[in-house]
Amino acid sequence: MGRLYAPRPLSAGILLTYKCTNECQHCMYACSPKWRDDWIDLKAAEKILEVLSKVFREYYPEGFNQVGVNIGLHFTGGEPFLNFDLLLSLVEAASSHNIPSVFVETNCFWCVNDDITEEKLVKLKKSGLDGILISANPFVVEQIPFERIERAAKISRRIFGRNTIIYQEIFFQQIKSINLKGTLPFKEYLSIMRERDPLGLYSGLSYPSMLLMGRLPYRLGYLYRRKAAKDFFNESCFEELTRNWHVHIDNYYNYITGYCAGISLGDARDLETLCQDGIDLDKYPIVSRLTSFEGIKKLFTYASKEYGYEERKDGYVSKCHLCLDIRRHIMSRANDLKDLRPREFYERL
């Protein structure tokens, strides 16, 4: 069947864990407090950082430190601040390898007062962190009091300046405009926004602000128009799965491209081999189909024949919904597939 060459990453995220304080309805990586308490091993992560540092040198000039969602390296999860000591050690390691544009992504659960927030951010900055990405959206504030997010934004701007990313600014401003204190159930958010904006033009829930993948189609699918499986049949995912920007490496060392959580291109501890020699597609039944011409159709046919997959009568909100629904079904039948990992991802949707 041939080989698929994993991309040499232009930008990457390292998931310290899938464990999170939250179980956001839109989470692409299906993170939650229920996940096993597994964390990336520092020694293994250091080896990965060494390789990333070499690869990044092909793209970035010496000393480059401008932060952007698709630039450099970010530490993420799950929630990285649940293990602050590990986060700090990883930032130090990234800094010692001169990795460009290192930032951390957080939901700000830990920003309970100004002193704690400042103390942690200053420590990280002194250890070499270049910036921060603060999650701000109606799903995070279902569980995180909005004042913690505002506090993180205010103090981060002081410490990291323009290397502070609020993701997404549209939601941050929206929630600020209703003077939210504390948390807000999503249903209430929706009714407030519908009253203000009956056509839904500025709700931020429309394309391109939300990616219709991961947990979202299962929890929020009722908000979107649905289509039949055949409407996605002519799509291939070659581009997404071989994309070199914003790849992820999880705490089980799965090399994940295209935001395609639950699909592994192999063990990132061997990243150089993955990129140089590629993977044998005979051993990757899902990836081999998804990257071929009419890949979604091929995956659907394979899953129907081999695993008895049946099309959902209520349709799909996106090709990623269809792809994930098929993969989830396969995982409920298969013991272990090299390209569908980690298993727990499929159990936490």
Binding site for ligand SF4 (CB under 6 A): 20, 22-24, 27, 31, 77-79, 107, 135, 140, 213, 237, 240-241, 258, 260, 263, 290, 319-320, 323-324
Gap between the Cα atoms of 131 and 133, Å rounded: 7
Cβ distance to ligand SF4 smaller for residue 56 or 235? 235
Cα-based angle 149, 154, 155 (whole degrees, multiple of 5): 100
Cα-based angle 171, 187, 328 (whole degrees, multiple of 5): 85
Cβ distance to ligand SF4 smaller for residue 31 or 40? 31
16 closest CA partner among 91, 111, 71? 91
Cβ distance to ligand SF4 smaller for residue 107 or 163? 107
Minimum Å gap between C-beta 121 and ligand SF4 is 18
Exposed/middle/buried for residue 175 (C-beta within 10 Å: 0-12, 13-18, 19+): buried
Minimum Å gap between C-beta 344 and ligand SF4 is 14
Cβ distance to ligand SF4 smaller for residue 55 or 140? 140
Minimum Å gap between C-beta 320 and ligand SF4 is 3
Q: Would you report the helix, strand and coil content of the chain in percent, each value rounded to 5?
A: 45, 10, 45
Minimum Å gap between C-beta 219 and ligand SF4 is 11
Minimum Å gap between C-beta 116 and ligand SF4 is 18
Neighbour tally for 116: CB within 10 Å: 12
Minimum Å gap between C-beta 209 and ligand SF4 is 14
Element holding 331 (H helix, E strand): helix 319-333
What tokens appear for 87 in the block?
A: 């986060």
Cα-based angle 284, 320, 311 (whole degrees, multiple of 5): 90
Cβ distance to ligand SF4 smaller for residue 100 or 292? 292
What tokens appear for 213 in the block?
A: 């993948």
Identify residue 23 by its one-letter amino acid code: E
Cβ distance to ligand SF4 smaller for residue 13 or 258? 258
Minimum Å gap between C-beta 194 and ligand SF4 is 23
Cβ distance to ligand SF4 smaller for residue 127 or 135? 135
φ/ψ of 4, rounded to 5, equals -120, 130
Gap between the Cα atoms of 74 and 96, Å rounded: 15
**Number of residues in the chain:** 349
Minimum Å gap between C-beta 268 and ligand SF4 is 17
Cβ distance to ligand SF4 smaller for residue 78 or 138? 78
Rg, Å, the chain Cα set: 20
What tokens appear for 241 in the block?
A: 């799965």
